[in-house]
Amino acid sequence: MRRFISHKTINLISQTTTSSISSSSPSPNSPSLSPNSPLTSLLRFFSTLHPSSPDSMASDYSATPITMDNINPKVLKCEYAVRGEIVSIAQTLQQNLKDNPGSHPFDEILYCNIGNPQSLAQQPITFFREVLALCDHPSILDKSETQGLFSADAIERAFQILEQIPGRATGAYSHSQGIKGLRDTIASGMKARDGFPADPNDLFLTDGASPAVHMMMQLLIRSENDGILCPIPQYPLYSASIALHGGTLVPYYLDEQTGWGLEISELEHQLKTAKSKGIDVRALVVINPGNPTGQVLGEANQREIVEFCKKEGLVLLADEVYQENVYVPDKKFHSFKKISRSMGYGETDISLVSFQSVSKGFYGECGKRGGYMEVTGFSPEVREQIYKLASVNLCSNISGQILASLIMSPPKHGFIQVGDESYESFSAEKEAILSSLARRAKTLEDALNSLEGVTCNRAEGAMYLFPCINLPDKAIKAAEEAKTAPDAFYAKHLLNATGIVVVPGSGFRQVPGTWHFRCTILPQEEKIPAIVSRLTEFHKKFMDEFRG
Amino acid sequence: MRRFISHKTINLISQTTTSSISSSSPSPNSPSLSPNSPLTSLLRFFSTLHPSSPDSMASDYSATPITMDNINPKVLKCEYAVRGEIVSIAQTLQQNLKDNPGSHPFDEILYCNIGNPQSLAQQPITFFREVLALCDHPSILDKSETQGLFSADAIERAFQILEQIPGRATGAYSHSQGIKGLRDTIASGMKARDGFPADPNDLFLTDGASPAVHMMMQLLIRSENDGILCPIPQYPLYSASIALHGGTLVPYYLDEQTGWGLEISELEHQLKTAKSKGIDVRALVVINPGNPTGQVLGEANQREIVEFCKKEGLVLLADEVYQENVYVPDKKFHSFKKISRSMGYGETDISLVSFQSVSKGFYGECGKRGGYMEVTGFSPEVREQIYKLASVNLCSNISGQILASLIMSPPKHGFIQVGDESYESFSAEKEAILSSLARRAKTLEDALNSLEGVTCNRAEGAMYLFPCINLPDKAIKAAEEAKTAPDAFYAKHLLNATGIVVVPGSGFRQVPGTWHFRCTILPQEEKIPAIVSRLTEFHKKFMDEFRG
């Protein structure tokens, strides 16, 4: 009988640092990450900073069958910078601060790396949470105390929703596409938004938008010869999902000079290049409003994009999760469904998938994992295959489904009849969040543009700024010596000096030779001035040090 | 400008029938579904029953790029019978009954096809729902009315949970493995269950157990040369996931004669056969308690299984989602973790993944999509890759995470100090559900065994019976003529005569030449006598008709 070997606690996160590098070794034809890519260098750099802990080194796993050499190489190839190495370092610093206050020149870590509003103290929308709580515990709906605790329209809405759920069973698996009554509500909301009908049978409710993206990639990608056109810079879910499903990311570059413009000539050029390499390009990903770039597409541009997809026989995968996040008066969100229908393209003319999420907008309910995709322009036979994929996982979580219906049918103003009781407070909460986000975006944009060598496009929408940093040669050389990408080198210095966490542009890809970082606009408004001054002070020192 | 073609409403579900067949055409070397498999025949049979609706046939999708010929063939290969064709027929019948009452010889459809307790009127556990509602809307926690509506320990528990969530933000993305404090709670519950410690860093919280299974398949399967040993009959999530990830299902047959016994000699035989075909077998799936077979493994048998995995270098994937569902006094659930640790195997000796879910047990919270896996015996480097896979989807839903913690730490009895206020009512709810399930299982088992040509093993655990039907030659011939599997032929007749929905054994696979169906024990107890008499009457008529 062997002796029981007690399991050493392993700090998984701090070790994420080491693995992806020594072992990542992507295959030579890897389209997503070459051994010399900035990301690989970045990872290599961090690996030198965080050696494995002695504890884990002491454990000998040689008797276990699964090693880095025999796992699925597609998993190795996949990267996700938003939760990558720099965040691990930040978490270590945060622990340091907790264990040893005063050990760093700042007293808190400011997470500007991820669009996670409620983690930075944004409060949930009251009406939405009231309805969710009542649906979770319907037996209090008839109690008198409930009237004192919940708004009347939240109680009414909970009753309505329960009526839409077969057997009022919020604890049952639903239809694999989501509860039909909730899909009806969402479809009505989409019709009100677009002026064109939406069919509830076209909606697939999912645990956030990510599983919907995976489902489409799974459907479309057969081999590495299948390509997906993705914007660069891009949200790394796309590169990760394409890598996991074994396809090829075909990049198209957004034009930073024209406010991250999406040029059709660039799409045509990249499509032609990919085709010449034998790649069968199957779909075009468009993120509008943009992530990480924050631009909002103009209507004319959207029409060109639809026309391009129609002409080239591409599925249009429209990431529209930031549709409520538009901060400038000269821009407006238009769904690609509305654009294509207004061009006269109907169901059988164009294949269009639109992704939406409860995680963004003014609600920012990331933890609820609600979302959906609207699938149009696929034959019934192909759609049944999508349905089958959905059914293998049974259904998405019901609270997320309810929330998805709520964001598309919030409390209503009473124009003719009496409005919903919560309308005023709901509107006030919504307005306060969105106007504050707009102010924060502008303040940070201005601050970034005032820095030496930094240019930053407007955050017209979404939750991010993506400034370009023109780094001095000396900094680039120092980064090279540290075997890291220059923007990762900058981000690391920024973190160590200020506690501000941003994601290096290399995590999103960028025009080679340019350097960026992504910074969310989400820290509480009262913290923005301190962030600006910390950032400004750091940047000046950094430039002074490396100006040469 | 093209004219807008209004989108014809398509009944997705009733059409699932047609697609998978004409186009499924699995490749000749498909390990999971051959063109002549019973499942394929079954699908083909149903396709003749449900022609496409005229509406959808009228739509011409020839201008859209995605066709059945150019989607990922792995998607075509994947099948999931639990939500397959027979359920579509049942839904059509249900609509018929609604539109035209009295049109069938029964007045309701009895869904015995899926383990979805709350869809069949099982009520949620009050304490769990109280805590979930309070965590969804924490601002009522301090209100006086709340004391009247919620139990004191639910309020206290909600406060505790909120303290465990950074910033009390139930709407924020959590750590990709799940909220650390909740993982601590689950780990404590596992330790109390097993008598061996569990490390919260080994836990990955997921939206139900299905995504966890997919994650492991994604990690382990590199190509069709990688094999996963699965029990036959099996829960079709496994065959579906293996097909989607492009691997090979290596079957091992459970021995129906010994109560679905798991024989090591059979494992050895199948492993050897697979190896001789060049298959690299990577893992062994064990479902305990069994689905669809309902057996509970004995401790000695579990030790043999652990020893087999250790000897052969296989990852043990232990589906333990029915761990609370054991109905017979002579059997007891033991986790494979407990078994392997009690054998002296520690963290670095054996690779073991255990899956758990909030969907089963006495709670049956399928719609909440909570679950987790405990990952032990993987090197830190490999585990970081699993963490990366989890991080691409950010995190699982927080309500599901909270519920996962609650099922592993329910209200406590006060042995020495005062117990939790909800303990008595919680225990009564739990006991009522489990004892009723045990009675239902026994009644149905006895009824099935009393039928001519039917033998049914005990439902020692889980939620299913899986009787063997010895069909008369005439019925088998009639099924052949109808181009369907004999058990699907039987299930279809049963549905049309009684409204009872079961899943043909072919959906789970079975020893060739034997025929079964899976029937849940979940209909409300007061409906069981009617089910028994309907089933008995139907079976007699069926046998009279086909006895020859």
Q: Which amino acid is at A116?
A: N
Tell me the per-residue pLDDT of A386-439, one tens digit each, with 9 for 90 and over: 999 999 889 999 999 999 999 999 999 866 666 789 999 999 999 999 999 999
**A-chain residue closest to B241, CA distance:** A392
Question: CA B83: distance to chain centroid?
Answer: 11
Q: Cα separation of B129 and B234, whole Å?
A: 32
**pLDDT value, residue B419:** 76
pLDDT > 70? residue A368: yes
DSSP structure string for B264-294: HHHHHHHHHHHHHTT-EEEEEEEESS-TTT-
CB B503 within 8 A of CB B81: yes
Which residues from chain B sit within 8 angstroms of residue A83, using beta carbons? 176, 391, 394
Please provide the CATH number assigned to the domain covering A85-121+429-546.
3.90.1150.10
Q: Do B201 and A12 touch (CB under 8 A)?
A: yes
Name the nearest CA neighbour of B153 among B370, B398, B410, B400. B410
Q: Cβ contacts (< 8 Å) between A345 and chain B: which residues?
A: 2, 4
φ, ψ of residue B293 in degrees (nearest 5): -90, -15
Q: Which of B60, B145, B384 sits opposite A348 (nearest CB)?
A: B60
Cβ distance B381 to A174 less than 8 Å, yes or no, reads no
DSSP tally for chain B: helices H, then strands E: 20, 14
Structure tokens at B274: 């697979």
Q: Chain B residue closest to A7 (CA)?
A: B347
Higher pLDDT, A98 or B191: B191
Angle (CA) A366-A520-A360 rounded to 5° is 30
Distance CA A488, CA A388 (A): 42
Residues of chain A with Cβ-Cβ distance to B20 below 8 Å are: 384-385, 388
List, as one string, the DSSP characters of B83-110. Answer: GSHHHHHHHHHHHHHHHSTTSSSSSS-E
Which SS3 state, helix, strand or coil, does residue B38 take? helix
Smallest CA-to-CA distance from B149 within A472, A97, A400, A147 is with A147
Altogether, the residues listed in chain B come to a count of 548
Distance, CA of B387 to CA of A22 (rounded, Å): 17
Q: Which 3 state secondary structure label does DSSP give B374?
A: strand
> What pLDDT does A57 receive?
47
**DSSP-assigned beta bridge partners for residue A353:** A317, A375
Q: What pLDDT was estimated at residue B142?
A: 93
- Which one of A32, A201, A379 would you mutate to disrupt binding with B, by most B Cβ within 10 Å of its Cβ? A379
CATH class of the domain comprising B85-121+433-546:
alpha beta
How large is the average pLDDT for residues A458-475?
95
The answer to whether A61 and B379 have CB atoms below 8 angstroms apart is yes
Please tell me which of the candidates B61, B202, B220 has its beta carbon nearest to residue A348.
Answer: B61
Which DSSP state fits B112?
A: -
Spatial separation of the C-alpha atoms in residues A88 and B127, rounded to whole Å: 37
| Residue B249: closest CA among B382, B84, B78, B373 | B78
- Is the distance from CB of B466 to CB of B505 less than 8 angstroms? yes
Tokens of A41: 């260098």
* Distance linking the first and last C-alpha atoms of chain A: 66
Tens-digit pLDDT profile for residues B491-502: 999 999 999 999
Place of tokens 């002796």: A3
Q: What is the pLDDT of residue B26?
A: 33
Distance from CA of A402 to the nearest CA of B (A): 11
The confidence score (pLDDT) of residue A82 equals 67
Task: Give chain A's length.
Answer: 548
**B512 prior amide bond cis, ω within 30:** no
What's A459's DSSP letter? -
Residue of A nearest to B141 (CA): A149
With beta carbons under 8 A apart, name residues in chain B contacting A5.
346-349
* Angstroms from A86 CA to nearest CA on chain B: 14
Residue A51 has pLDDT above 50, yes or no: no
Q: Give the minimum alpha-carbon distance from B423 to chain A in angstroms, rounded to a whole number.
A: 18
CATH class, A164-407 region: alpha beta
Q: Are A384 and B23 in contact (CB < 8 Å)?
A: no
Nearest by CB to B61, from A83, A207, A379: name it. A379
Geometric angle at alpha carbon B54, from B48 and B57, rounded to 5°: 85
Q: Which of A174, A281, A282, A274 is nearest to A219 (CA)?
A: A282
Check the CA dihedral B447-B449-B455-B461 and report its sign. Answer: positive
- Which of B461, B499, B503 is closest to B485 using CA atoms? B503
Average pLDDT value for residue range A314-324: 98
Asked if residue A86 lies in contact with residue A488, where contact means CB atoms within 8 angstroms, the answer is yes
State what percent of residues in chain A have pLDDT above 70: 88
Q: Would you report the helix, strand and coil content of chain A in percent, each value rounded to 5?
A: 50, 10, 40
Which of A269, A485, A299, A207 lies closest to B393, judged by CA? A207
A241·B392 Cβ contact <8 A = yes
Both tokens assigned to A30? 């890897």
CB pairs under 8 A between A and B: 429
Q: Do B136 and A170 touch (CB under 8 A)?
A: no
Contact call for B119 and A166, based on CB within 8 A? yes
Separation of alpha carbons B254 and B256, rounded Å: 6
Beta carbons of A79 and A506 less than 8 angstroms apart:
no
Asked whether the predicted pLDDT for residue A15 surpasses 50, the reply is no
Burial label, B211 (beta-carbon count in 10 A; 0-12, 13-18, 19+): buried
Return the number of other C-beta atoms located less than 10 Å from residue B143's C-beta. Answer: 13
* Contact flag B171-A367 (C-beta cutoff 8 Å): yes
Q: How confident is the model at residue A369 (pLDDT cuts 50, 70, 90)?
A: very high
Considering only the beta carbons, identify the residue of B12, B72, B350 that sits closest to A219: B72
Please answer yes or no on whether B167 and A118 come within 8 Å at the CB atom.
yes
* Contact between B8 and B58 (Cβ < 8 Å): yes
C-alpha–C-alpha distance, residues B286 and B340, integer Å: 14
What does the radius of gyration of chain B's CA atoms come to, in whole angstroms? Answer: 24
The residues near B513 (Cβ < 8 Å, ≥ 6 apart) are none
Place of tokens 């669009």: A115
Where are chain B's structural domains? 12-80, 85-121+433-546, 194-407
Interface contact A351-B65, CB threshold 8 A: yes
Chain A residues whose beta carbon lies within 8 Å of the beta carbon of residue B228: none
The answer to whether A5 contacts B346, with C-beta atoms less than 8 Å apart, is yes
Residue B128: count other Cβ atoms within 10 Å of its Cβ.
27
pLDDT reading at A19 higher than 90: no
Per-residue confidence (pLDDT) for residue A179, from 0 to 100: 96
Helix axes A12-22, A38-49, angle to 10 degrees: 130
Using a CB-CB cut-off of 8 Å, the residues of chain A touching B1 are 343-344
Q: What pLDDT, on the 0 to 100 scale, is given for residue B9?
A: 30
Please say if the pLDDT value at position A39 is more than 60.
Answer: no
Query: Would you give the DSSP letter of residue B356?
Result: E
Q: Chain A interface, mutation test: which of B205, B381, B522, B527, most A Cβ atoms within 10 Å?
A: B381
Domain B194-407 -> CATH class: alpha beta
Return the structure tokens found at B410.
Answer: 């329910």
Q: Is the pLDDT reported for residue A443 higher than 70?
A: yes
Residues facing A319 on adjacent strands: A287, A355
Q: Are A214 and A250 in contact (CB under 8 A)?
A: no
Q: At what angle do helices A473-481 and A528-546 cross, to 10 degrees?
A: 90
Low-confidence ranges of chain B (pLDDT < 70): 1-58, 81-83, 414-418, 548
Cβ-defined contact of B71 to A392 (cutoff 8 Å)? no
A102 in Cβ contact with B414 (< 8 Å): no
pLDDT digits (tens, 9 = 90+) for A522-537: 999 999 999 999 999 9
CA gap A297, A387 in Å, rounded: 31
Kindly report the number of other CB atoms within 10 A of residue B51's CB atom: 12
Taking 60 as the threshold, does the pLDDT of residue A5 lie above it? no
